[in-house]
């Protein structure tokens, strides 16, 4: 599972600060999460293939999270895209994008599907045999969702040496990978643990931006491997955070600790701070490990 933070700053794009966007490379999918201005350039810099993006998840309709989307949709057309593109985001996103396409008489020549969200409960928005993606209802100034990405269990790994030694026929291999014990011709039962290795543990990633401190999300993101949580402010600006419905680094760490996550990645820093080191320090007083999101930085978990 590779998380690439394309941009992780609040509000306006600046020379060295891109608004929110990231990709999650997981079980063969390259999911794009939020699409602030500059996302295309950041994708190019990170050498991520545009054609691999088939699903885009948008948290909310503040500009710093989706103003890059019309440009990207348009570029896909210019690149001659033929594959379907699915966009998941708040109700209104279809109107916003299609209005721009209509005004420019530049309809896509590839199938474009919108999945508009209105639910205030966590719902599954995408699922295949490898991955499940659900919403994480957040509490911000407008309707906002985070997204939870969960790998599914995979088959157990066949111990080829063992199955060969027991003389087990290939037609039983799938059964064994499904965890079944095997009865040999002589009537002896071989337990599955002798024939297989444990598969890798399914991984999970939760994206939470933007939101005020919202402990109700804890049960939804319980035990995830990695949590990205916004930290727009430091604790010294806690009042301002509450007023603008954002979080502090300390509050992000409290959520991480209560949800027992494996690691916390911070982002969505306000421009008022000269350095992001204080965010890490503040969060680490509550929870470890903490990683600072940085534009263009890839994390392998
Ligand atoms: Zn924002
Ligand atoms: Zn916002």
pLDDT tens digit sequence for 115-141: 999 999 999 999 999 999 999 999 999
Q: Does the annotation flag 29 for ligand binding?
A: no
The answer to whether 277 is annotated as binding is no
CA of 186 to the centre of ligand 1 (A): 66
Q: How confident is the model at residue 68 (pLDDT cuts 50, 70, 90)?
A: very high
Q: What percent of the chain has pLDDT over 70?
A: 100
Q: Which ligand is nearest to the CA of 18?
A: 1
- Please give the CATH architecture assigned to the domain spanning 2-154+200-300: 4-Layer Sandwich (3.60)
65 is in an annotated binding site: yes
Q: What is the pLDDT of residues 267-283, one digit of tens each?
A: 999 999 989 999 999 99
Question: Is position 140 annotated in a ligand binding site?
Answer: yes
Instruction: Give, rounded to a whole angstrom, the gap between the first and last alpha carbons of the chain.
Output: 6
Domain map (residue ranges) of the chain: 2-154+200-300, 158-197
> Is 185 noted as a catalytic residue in this protein?
no
- Report the distance separating Cα 77 and Cα 68, nearest Å: 15
Q: Which bound ligand lies closest to the C-alpha atom of 211?
A: 2
User: How many beta carbons lie within 10 A of that of residue 236, not counting itself?
Assistant: 12
**DSSP percent split of the chain into helix, strand, coil, nearest 5:** 30, 30, 40
Ligand 1 center from residue 159 Cα (angstroms): 49
Tell whether residue 268 is among the known ligand binding residues.
yes
**Residue 31 structure tokens:** 């999911």
pTM exceeding the 0.85 threshold for the entire prediction: yes
Q: Cα-flanking dihedrals φ and ψ of residue 216, to 5°?
A: -65, -15
- Determine phi and psi for 266, rounding to 5 degrees: -100, 155
Q: Is residue 301 helix, strand or coil?
A: coil
State in Å: Cα 179 to ligand 1 middle: 45
Backbone angles phi, psi at 158, to 5 degrees: -70, 130
Place of tokens 């966009």: 87
Residues 144, 211 contacting (CB under 8 angstroms): yes
Share of the chain above pLDDT 90, in %: 96
Whole-number Å distance, alpha carbon 90 to ligand 2 midpoint, is 13
132 burial via Cβ count (<10 Å: 0-12, 13-18, 19+): middle
- Is the Cβ–Cβ distance between 173 and 158 less than 8 Å? yes
pLDDT of residue 15: 87
Catalytic residue among 25, 34, 64, 129: 64
Ligand (nearest to CA of 141): 2
The partner residues of 269 in beta bridges, in order of sequence, read 9
CA of 106 to the centre of ligand 1 (A): 28
């Amino acid at each position: 599972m590779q998380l690439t933070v394309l941009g992780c700053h609040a509000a306006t794009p600046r020379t060295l600060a891109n608004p929110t966007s990231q990709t999650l490379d997981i079980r063969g999918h390259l999911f794009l999460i939020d699409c602030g201005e500059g996302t295309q350039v950041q994708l190019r810099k990170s050498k991520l293939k545009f054609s691999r993006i088939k699903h885009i998840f948008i948290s909310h309709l503040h500009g710093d999270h989706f103003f890059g989307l019309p440009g990207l949709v348009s570029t896909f057309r210019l690149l001659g895209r033929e594959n379907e593109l699915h966009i998941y985001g708040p109700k209104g996103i279809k109107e916003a994008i299609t209005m721009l396409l209509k005004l420019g008489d530049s309809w896509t020549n590839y199938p474009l599907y919108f999945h508009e969200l209105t639910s205030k409960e966590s719902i599954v928005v995408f699922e295949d045999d490898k991955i499940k993606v659900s919403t994480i209802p957040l509490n911000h100034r407008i309707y906002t969702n985070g997204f939870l990405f969960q790998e599914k269990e995979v088959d157990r790994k066949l111990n080829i040496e063992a199955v060969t030694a027991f003389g087990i026929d290939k037609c039983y291999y799938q059964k064994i990978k499904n965890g079944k014990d095997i009865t040999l011709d002589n009537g002896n039962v071989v337990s599955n643990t002798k024939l297989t290795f444990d598969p890798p543990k399914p991984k999970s990633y939760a994206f939470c931006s933007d939101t005020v401190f919202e402990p109700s999300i804890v049960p939804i993101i319980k035990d995830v491997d990695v949590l990205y949580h916004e930290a727009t402010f430091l604790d010294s600006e806690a009042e301002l955070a509450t007023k603008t419905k954002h979080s502090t680094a300390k509050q992000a760490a409290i959520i991480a600790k209560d949800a027992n996550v494996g690691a916390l990645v911070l982002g969505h820093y306000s421009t008022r701070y000269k350095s992001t080191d204080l965010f890490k320090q503040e969060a680490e007083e509550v929870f470890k490990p903490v990683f600072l999101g940085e534009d263009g930085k890839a994390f392998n978990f």
